[in-house]
Structure 1
Amino acid sequence: MNRSEDNPSQDQAISPAPHQEAERWFGHDVLPGQSVSTELEITESYSGRTVVIPLRVFRGMQPGPKVFVSAALHGDELNGTGAIRTILGDDSWKLDAGTLLMIPVLNVLGFERHSRYLPDRRDLNRCFPGSKDGSMASRLAKVIFDAIVKRCDYGVDLHTAAVRRTNFPNVRANLDSPESLRIAEAFGTGILLHGSGPKGSLRREATKAGCVTIVVEGGEVWKVESSVAECMSRGIFNVLKELDMMQGEPDLPDSQVMIRETKWLRAERGGFMSMHVAPGDSVQKGQAIATNSSLLAEDQNRLETPFSGIVIGMTTLPAVQPGEPVVHVGRLANAKSVRRHARQVAGDDVQRTAHEHLATNIQVTEPTDQTE
């Protein structure tokens, strides 16, 4: 049984335009101007109880696109959850057109276990579009895909880095697709990463099915980082404004960089890493990014960037073994592009704050001179 609760303030204050009819969402008729809290049934628990995804459906007074915004597809990635909850608790904004679905936690089973994965140890973000008679993960994916994705025109899927890592806010999309590029740019991060996404991922399969979807990465698991959540909140409103679903112009940085090549720099030896860069930093080819040494700070080994670019993400765990990822760098064309990105971050209040806050989670030191 789908349970729902109207938002009385919007339901009573706004009368639907005569030419618009109610839309049926999860067992509830949503009229123009309404905001409805409801639930999507997805499966049953071990005790046979119904498992649901809570969500909010908004409709503007005018016709327009249908958009979903989701978070915690990996159940431990909560920055997007914080951003969506902030918007849901803010009554100062108004949806003028179209339909908006806000889903604070998509993977409720992982969320309740503080886990990236489902109870069957599968990654839900590798199981779309799903199957009605497959594994539990595949069945959940199908319910979500059929009930939400297939009914929407656009999607914004909010993520963080995986456990023991952090990411500077960035958007990931197929930048060769004009409509995907449009939404990616409108979100308003300074970094756009090109790619279609892994097979079975929500954004790849949704876009393939006609629902243009981008992924936003920022911060780390198990927490809501205010600066990252602010980037995500601004980006959500930016997309709605770009699609003429809200009034106003998107709040965008002066410039954005498109990255088509990235590389994880990996530890060459076991030991303890001293980091020389932070998420969002601009780096030049050959620059020292980390120094690895023994616990007694002896026998040093230094990692340097193979090209000029941007620190997209990095480990938050300083102890490493050979081959473990340390810093994720995105390639930029030249030193001029690196300097332009640094100025862009410094000139955008939201990105600058995120850069400063994420840096405080990493002990960044100056590299010492190495003698042969």
Structure 2
Amino acid sequence: MSSKVESWFGCEVKAGEAVSTELVISESYSSRDVAIPIRVRRGLESGPTVFVTAALHGDELNGTGAIRSMLSDDSWELRSGTLLMVPVLNVLGFERHSRYLPDRRDLNRCFPGNSTGSMASRLAKVIFDSIVPRCDFGIDLHTAAVRRTNFPNARADLDNDACRNLAETFGSGIILHGKGPKGSFRRSATDAGCPTIVVEGGEVWKVESAVAECMLRGVFNVLKMLKMMDGEPDIPNRQAVIRETKWIRAERGGFMSMHVAAGDSVVKGQAIASNSNLLTEDQNRLESPFSGIVLGMTTLPAVQPGEPVVYIGRLANPKSAQRHDENVANDDIQRTALEHLATNVQVTEPDESEPDVSSD
């Protein structure tokens, strides 16, 4: 049994305890503290320290919903280690229903931060130095940007064995390879020796129960893998690994008719969207340039030339599309997410009489 008392953000946390505390990150115009609420939970035994964060972009709330479900649920127990749960990391953006900080900077491009830099750099420095060096692993929960939605997917540097293990164990069903943008929280944390993954799902300004449930299962999967919780991870039989992605963009202005939903598989040459004028005339069609999975898409049907419409991840083998469909069909949480996200846009069958105009 771990008897050592740990000090977190000015509070002492004993083995087996859960303590609500806060991390002061800055001051307001009225010189009052700006603080991030944090729940620190410890198991009875020694073990890894893991952070789970959400709303690093202040309007991305599905992860917030998932963490709040963990906080309000007394049915699960932490057997070992220490878990930091941060429902809202970017409190200044959250209070303004904004992705960004008040100075319009993206906090997720400012890590590991600078104590003498801009507001964003200073906030990033405090957050990073207070959390990352003391943690062994991290999970950062996100959604798509405004006017877009994403099918739940994990993003990790698959060349890092620890990150790969986290992403595979999370069990979202889709894994995207990449280190992350320069200055991002997960890239900076991983570079500092704390393997961290990002999980994307759903859209901004809401908590979508199907997406939050996927995130919740994934966090518990990781904790079980690390032996911080009892039980075995609930991981889909197959997971698609994506190493190449592409946004399919509108070629002409008009009103889009979508032929796919986030989470659908597509084959090369398949119609994914059509657009026309407001009287449904002068139609043209966008096609998938390769076989893959629809990772995300716009939820705004009106477009101008060059605007992103559908985000597709390439599959190395066209047969993988069928395996992805079978995997989703056999996994209750993924299937529910697919059904839910399909209601965010109007999905119709393509008109085969339309002129065949590809996006390439």
Distance 1:371 1:161, change over 3 A: closer
Is the aligned partner of 1:348 residue 2:301?
no
Render the CA deviation track for 1:91-118: whole Å, top value 9, x for unaligned: 0000001000000000000000000000
1:370 shift after superposition: 2.6
Is the aligned partner of 1:288 residue 2:257?
no
Paired position in structure 2 for 1:225:
208
Paired position in structure 1 for 2:288:
305
Render the CA deviation track for 1:181-211: whole Å, top value 9, x for unaligned: 0000010111000000000000000000001
Provide the secondary structure at the position in 1 that maps to 2:66.
helix
- Give the Cα–Cα distance (whole angstroms) in 1 for the partners of residues 250 and 287 of structure 2: 11
Taking the TM superposition and a 5 Å limit, the aligned residue runs for 1:1-372 are 17=1, 20-370=3-353
- Give the Cα–Cα distance (whole angstroms) in 2 for the partners of residues 289 and 177 of structure 1: 34
What number of residue pairs does the alignment pair up?
355
1:29 shift after superposition: 1.0
- Give the Cα–Cα distance (whole angstroms) in 1 for the partners of residues 216 and 28 of structure 2: 32
1:87 shift after superposition: 0.7
Provide the secondary structure at the position in 2 that maps to 1:360.
helix
Letter in 1 for 2:250: A
Render the CA deviation track for 1:115-150: whole Å, top value 9, x for unaligned: 000001100000000011100000000000000111
- Find runs of 4+ consecutive structure 1 residues off by over 3 angstroms: none
- Give the Cα–Cα distance (whole angstroms) in 2 for the partners of residues 72 and 28 of structure 1: 24
**2:249–2:305 CA contact under 8 A, matched in 1:** yes
**2:105–2:120 CA contact under 8 A, matched in 1:** yes
TM-score (norm. length: structure 2): 0.98
Percent identity between the two aligned chains = 74
**2:143–2:203 CA contact under 8 A, matched in 1:** yes
1:274 shift after superposition: 0.2
Render the CA deviation track for 1:247-270: whole Å, top value 9, x for unaligned: 000001111011000000000000
- Give the Cα–Cα distance (whole angstroms) in 2 for the partners of residues 111 and 328 of structure 1: 26
**2:284–2:354 CA contact under 8 A, matched in 1:** no
- Give the Cα–Cα distance (whole angstroms) in 1 for the partners of residues 136 and 332 of structure 2: 31
- Give the Cα–Cα distance (whole angstroms) in 1 for the partners of residues 114 and 351 of structure 2: 55
1:273 shift after superposition: 0.3
Letter in 2 for 1:123: D
Provide the secondary structure at the position in 2 that maps to 1:247.
coil
Distance 1:289 1:207, change over 3 A: same
Letter in 1 for 2:272: I
Paired position in structure 1 for 2:358:
none
1:20 shift after superposition: 2.4
- Give the Cα–Cα distance (whole angstroms) in 1 for the partners of residues 299 and 253 of structure 2: 16
Letter in 1 for 2:15: P
- Give the Cα–Cα distance (whole angstroms) in 2 for the partners of residues 154 and 20 of structure 1: 22
1:371 shift after superposition: 5.3
Render the CA deviation track for 1:9-36: whole Å, top value 9, x for unaligned: xxxxxxxx4x521011011111110100
Letter in 2 for 1:137: A
1:85 shift after superposition: 0.2
- Give the Cα–Cα distance (whole angstroms) in 1 for the partners of residues 146 and 133 of structure 2: 30
Letter in 1 for 2:158: L
Once superposed, what is the RMSD of the aligned Cα atoms? Answer: 0.7
Provide the secondary structure at the position in 1 that maps to 2:319.
helix
Render the CA deviation track for 1:202-241: whole Å, top value 9, x for unaligned: 0000000001000000000000000000000000100000
Letter in 1 for 2:347: V
- Give the Cα–Cα distance (whole angstroms) in 2 for the partners of residues 227 and 247 of structure 1: 24
Letter in 2 for 1:292: N
Provide the secondary structure at the position in 2 that maps to 1:37.
strand
Letter in 2 for 1:64: G
1:335 shift after superposition: 2.2
- Give the Cα–Cα distance (whole angstroms) in 2 for the partners of residues 369 and 61 of structure 1: 63
Render the CA deviation track for 1:31-70: whole Å, top value 9, x for unaligned: 1101000000000011111000001000111111100000
